[in-house]
Structure 1
Amino acid sequence: MLPRTDAHPASFTRLPVLLGALLFLSTRAAWAQPAPTPLEDNRTITLGYIDIAYELGGIIDPSLLPGGSSSARPNWFTFAPHASQAGGKGMYGTALARHFLAAARLQSSLSLTNALDRLGLDGVPRQRLQELSLQLIAQGLTVDAATALSVMTTSLNIEVLADPRTLLTTAARMGALYWSAPRSSPLDKTEVVVITLERTLHEGNLAIFNDIGGSARLYLDWRRDASGPITPERVLTEFTLVDAFAAEARQAYDFAVAHAEDTPRATRMDLLFPGMHWKSLLVAAFAVYEEARLAPTPARRDALIAMGTNFVAWREQRDQAQPVFTPTGSPTDEVSRAGVLQMLTPLLMTDFGTVRWTYADYANSQPDRDGNPLTPRPCEYSWADFWDRWNGILFAFDAAYARPTELWVMPEPLMDPLG
């Protein structure tokens, strides 16, 4: 995998007020100011993660300076700004789709060419969206409905649509979601699909940041105010989080210290710690990161960082992402969130600095699930499924661990195109 050269470092911005404790971004008082858009929230979250990444990274590797880079293995919070940015790109696609729908309500497109011209697309993106739109039109969708659904994919890995099998499968799933949507008019049905994706990404972004980012801010504030040397033992005995249990955190920490250098690395927290409240893993992770800071060798340090990162990621995906992706009882004004995520799974990608991860790369590295050559491997998975998502994330971690300094090329947070 060759390094990319089109990523640009973000300006390093501290957000001490916004990150005072938990950021309940979605509950701002309506009378104070208009509610932030999903992309405005995403921008705040991405900047917040960048702030935490440098502060915590500087604890693990004291040579790390704001705006600089470290050769230490990335911790969870080094990955987080890039993952948040990837979610933001998905929300950017939904914002473009909503903008297009608003224009289409005023004046319908005369043709698919006219619709794509209105979006200002050219080159490969135009070609891929045209091919996807044509498949949707063949299923009975109007030109504007097909174009609006297709434009949601513009910030994703649309190159996978060059495979006719992936194109046909994606179009079939997208069309099925459209026809399952409540409402009667084509544009209203399309908007339901768009809003379902936007809400899913936005709610996941908020839930993870409020929990994981908020816990990190509480930890860093506790650490800053504590007197005397900070040790893993002090973290385990003095630092607490709501819903975390000290005995469970110590159990996880002891396991990490004893097994950090095991091959393969432990990843099945459900088997290792049955019955544990996963919030306890966050306390354990902070203690493990402190242990990494004190490690006698870079190899030992990096092994501990990876264990701590797996602890945080498990809590993130199990308790925060999963309930958003597969909620109990879907809202009546949405289509299936799991269906939307399955449809987009082959197109998922994240730029971890200059390290590009795609779900297709992960899926294509795995054994063929159904043995059918007509089914592309990326279409055999679903981001809504915990294990499909978890193993894809671990694959991304391992790829990034081989190029640690490149993750410090931080993203430039997105601006809302409708703002």
Structure 2
Amino acid sequence: MEIPARTDVRHFTVALLGAFLVLTSASARAQSAPTPLEDNRTITLGYIDIAYELGGIIDPTLQPGSTSSARPNWFTFAPHASQAGGKGMYCAALARHFINAARGQPSVSLTGALNRLGLGDVVRLRVQDLSLQLIAQGLTVDAAAALSVLTSSLNVAALGDPRTLTTTASRMGAMYWSAPGATPLDKVETIVITLERTLHEGNLAIFNDIGGSARLYLGWRAGATGPITPARVLSEFTLVDAYNAEAQQAYAWAVAHAEDSPRPTRMDVLFPGMHWKSLLIAAFALYEDARLAPTPARRDALIAMGTNFVAWREQFDQAQAVFTPAGAPADEISRAAVLQALTPFLMTDFGTVRWTYADFAYAQPDRDGNPLTSPPTEYSWADFWDRWNGILFAFDQAYARPTELWVMPEPLTDPLG
């Protein structure tokens, strides 16, 4: 190597130092930005705090770490739902680590690829079945394993239905062949990025909006003097973009119809033209009303109406915009396609009450009347109504075992640190 002259050495040193500073600065920025799983951990813990604070308003006997027999409110469900989204991000993180390792040293067999993933026996068997189906469609061993592992922390048992296995493989194969990327692993990474961003953005959007509104409410309540009544909430507590007159309208309707059977759920029909953030104020008023209710049955009916109001705002305004955005980045594929492919595997543990989308789908009338298609593959989490009805099914399932939702989840960490 030729040694540069003194002047050139100085220039070379300055340039090298500049490059080092740029790299150091970039590294610092990268380290300062939380990962999706780190954000998910913060959000899950934040929801747990809110769940106990708000739950303690409805049921004054509730203490952090204890349980309540009152019907769960939206914020009791929220930590578990956040954890479920985190499991999808966990799958994405596992796929990312696998892709990075496979770029340096490709697997020589599917067995070798699965060994790298370190999956348990039952999960490994299902991931293997899906990988084999994808390999038959022309995917490489590593691409097939990386794509299949996106189901590994979800309800992978759904693959035990051969119809679900076949349809899932077909959908994943179609996503793979449509994804941009110069290499097989590049194409799979596009799918992984799409899933991770979708879940992460949804997690942040919902927590910032609804979790932030709850924090504002709890702060307002703590600073208020005198008894807190639903009327005070509706007239004194405000949120940006919400209209107190609309909140009053929704609250009055809910009080009159809380014990209707079936419980009303079509907010678009009930309150056409309403700004859905107004429903949050109405929900807080309903939760206060539940605290004052004369009987447990009336209390629980008011809680359920308030929870439906919050869930509508969550799903109709926050989640839907993330799941089906107006435009997609060039390094993504269709978010709706990714969510549809994973819908049969969706699962949430509400404490010790396990909800799966497959259970919901199998409990419905056969949608297409075709015995060759499995019911869970006939729905899509990206479709608002499919998602909304599945969530209402989960609420009703959990309402039958209210104390069990207070077994709070342990927030997730990166699968490989």
TM-score, structure 2 as length reference: 0.93
The 3 A distance-change label for structure 1 pair 51 and 405 is: same
2:287 corresponding residue in structure 1: 289
CA distance in 2 between partners of 1:196 and 1:285 (Å): 33
Deviation at 1:347, TM superposition (A): 0.6
Task: Please tell me whether Structure 1 or Structure 2 has the larger radius of gyration of its CA atoms.
Answer: 2
With a CA cutoff of 8 Å and minimum separation of 6, indicate the structure with the bigger relative contact order.
Answer: 1
Q: Which moved more, 1:119-128 or 1:311-320?
A: 119-128
Deviations 1:17-66 (A, max 9, x none): xxxxxxxxxxxxx8596200000000000000000000000000000011
Deviations 1:247-305 (A, max 9, x none): 10000000111110000101000000000000000000000000000000000000000
CA distance in 1 between partners of 2:388 and 2:329 (Å): 26
1:403 corresponding residue in structure 2: 401
1:249 corresponding residue in structure 2: 247
2:316 corresponding residue in structure 1: 318
TM-score, structure 1 as length reference: 0.92
Deviation at 1:120, TM superposition (A): 1.6
1:107 corresponding residue in structure 2: 105
The 3 A distance-change label for structure 1 pair 141 and 360 is: same
CA distance in 1 between partners of 2:341 and 2:119 (Å): 22
Q: Give secondary structure in 2 for the equivalent of 1:356.
A: strand
Deviation at 1:121, TM superposition (A): 2.2
Deviations 1:66-116 (A, max 9, x none): 100000000000000000000000000000000000000010001000101
CA distance in 2 between partners of 1:204 and 1:59 (Å): 28
Percent of aligned pairs sharing the same letter = 82
Q: Give secondary structure in 1 for the equivalent of 2:151.
A: coil
1:271 corresponding residue in structure 2: 269
List gaps (5 residues or longer) in structure 1. 1-29
Question: After the TM superposition, which residues 217-366 of structure 1 pair with which residues of structure 2 at under 5 Å, given as runs?
Answer: 217-366=215-364
Question: After the TM superposition, which residues 46-125 of structure 1 pair with which residues of structure 2 at under 5 Å, given as runs?
Answer: 46-125=44-123
Deviations 1:120-160 (A, max 9, x none): 22411111000000000000000000000111111100111
CA distance in 2 between partners of 1:235 and 1:168 (Å): 52
CA distance in 1 between partners of 2:78 and 2:227 (Å): 28
2:21 corresponding residue in structure 1: none
Deviations 1:176-223 (A, max 9, x none): 111110112001001000010000000000000000000000000000
Give the counterpart letter for 2:232 in structure 1.
R
1:15 corresponding residue in structure 2: none
User: In proportion to residue count, which structure has more helix?
Assistant: 2
**Count of matched residue pairs:** 390
The 3 A distance-change label for structure 1 pair 245 and 385 is: same
Give the counterpart letter for 1:175 in structure 2.
G
Give the counterpart letter for 1:369 in structure 2.
R
CA distance in 1 between partners of 2:29 and 2:146 (Å): 33
2:133 corresponding residue in structure 1: 135
Q: Give secondary structure in 2 for the equivalent of 1:152.
A: helix
List gaps (5 residues or longer) in structure 2. 1-27
Question: After the TM superposition, which residues 142-157 of structure 1 pair with which residues of structure 2 at under 5 Å, given as runs?
Answer: 142-157=140-155
1:169 corresponding residue in structure 2: 167
Q: Give secondary structure in 2 for the equivalent of 1:36.
A: coil
Runs of 4+ with >2 A deviation: 30-33
